[in-house]
């Protein structure tokens, strides 16, 4: 194990970044289609979790990925959507199921507001990235001649996310896509610490965004 670990660290140093991997799985419940020119999608983060604020960047990143490329869709910004439809998508009132969503739509004002956006799909994302392990350490000191650090810090992050895709036109769940990621970051220090970070959240965003795009467009 020691030689393999040394090789991993060396590769991280050469590439200037940590290493990460992402596993994507999907479950299709119905066929999908979208008129890219006339229909829109909105990506929302589940706000019933206290950790949601830390994941807002990932939700915005997935939305950006969905609008990218030849299969790019028209994506409504989460902040704009939530503010425009206040208070129905605030943490205390946001629907956690299609049944609850259907009940909210009985409010004519909400139905009218959503219709203005020509929404075809609402994509709910929930999950988090967490630190799961760390080892090593740094020792820093300051003397009359100067200061510096020596050592190596290593830590691992894991991310687990799930996207639920609601077909607003058919009022049904089209499917779910999950993304599990893991990354190892390093911080070697010879006088000055140099962080080599695994882009766990960024890699998860790219993988999840691309899979959602393919899921909807390819049907």
In whole angstroms, give the CA distance from residue 18 to residue 13: 8
Per-residue pLDDT, 30? 96
Nearest to 78 by CA among 87, 89, 70, 68: 89
Give residue-wise pLDDT tens across range 179-215: 999 988 878 877 777 777 678 888 899 999 999 999 9
Per-residue pLDDT, 62? 95
Nearest to 48 by CA among 94, 102, 104: 94
- E-only strand ranges, 48-145: 74-76, 119-143
Q: Give the pLDDT band (50/70/90) at residue 28.
A: very high
Per-residue tokens: 23: 């596993």
Per-residue pLDDT, 110? 82
Give residue-wise pLDDT tens across range 115-139: 889 999 999 999 888 888 888 877 8
C-alpha count within 13 angstroms, C-beta hemisphere, residue 153: 16
Q: Give the pLDDT band (50/70/90) at residue 10.
A: very low
More confident residue, 90 or 163: 163
Q: Give Cα 115 to chain centroid, integer Å.
A: 27
User: How high is the mean pLDDT of the chain?
Assistant: 83
- E-only strand ranges, the chain: 19-28, 40-45, 74-76, 119-143, 146-167, 172-193
Question: Residue 43 burial by CB count (10 A; 0-12/13-18/19+): exposed, middle or buried?
Answer: buried
Calculate the alpha carbon distances from 82 to 43, 199, 205, 211 in Å.
Answer: 11, 28, 21, 24
Give residue-wise pLDDT tens across range 32-90: 999 999 999 999 998 765 555 547 889 999 999 999 988 899 999 999 998 988 888 88
């Amino acid at each position: 194990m020691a030689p393999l670990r040394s090789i991993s660290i060396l590769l991280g140093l050469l590439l200037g970044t940590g290493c990460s991997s992402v596993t994507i799985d999907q479950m299709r419940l119905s066929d999908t289609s979208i008129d890219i020119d006339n229909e829109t999608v909105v990506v929302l983060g589940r706000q019933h979790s206290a950790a949601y604020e830390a994941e807002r960047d990932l939700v915005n990143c997935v939305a950006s990925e969905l609008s990218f490329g030849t299969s790019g869709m028209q994506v409504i910004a989460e902040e704009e959507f939530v503010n425009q439809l206040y208070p129905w998508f605030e943490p205390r009132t946001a629907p956690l199921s299609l049944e609850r969503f259907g009940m909210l739509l009985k409010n004519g004002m909400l139905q009218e507001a959503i219709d203005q956006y020509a929404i075809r799909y609402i994509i709910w994302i929930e999950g988090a990235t967490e630190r799961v392990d760390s080892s090593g350490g740094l020792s820093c000191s300051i003397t009359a001649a100067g200061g510096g650090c020596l050592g190596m810090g290593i830590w691992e992050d894991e991310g687990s996310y799930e996207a639920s895709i609601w077909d607003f036109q058919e009022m049904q769940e089209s499917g779910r896509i999950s993304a599990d990621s893991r990354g190892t970051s390093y911080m070697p220090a010879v006088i000055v610490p140099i962080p080599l970070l695994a882009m766990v959240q960024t890699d998860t965003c790219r993988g999840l965004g691309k899979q959602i795009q393919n899921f909807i467009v390819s049907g």
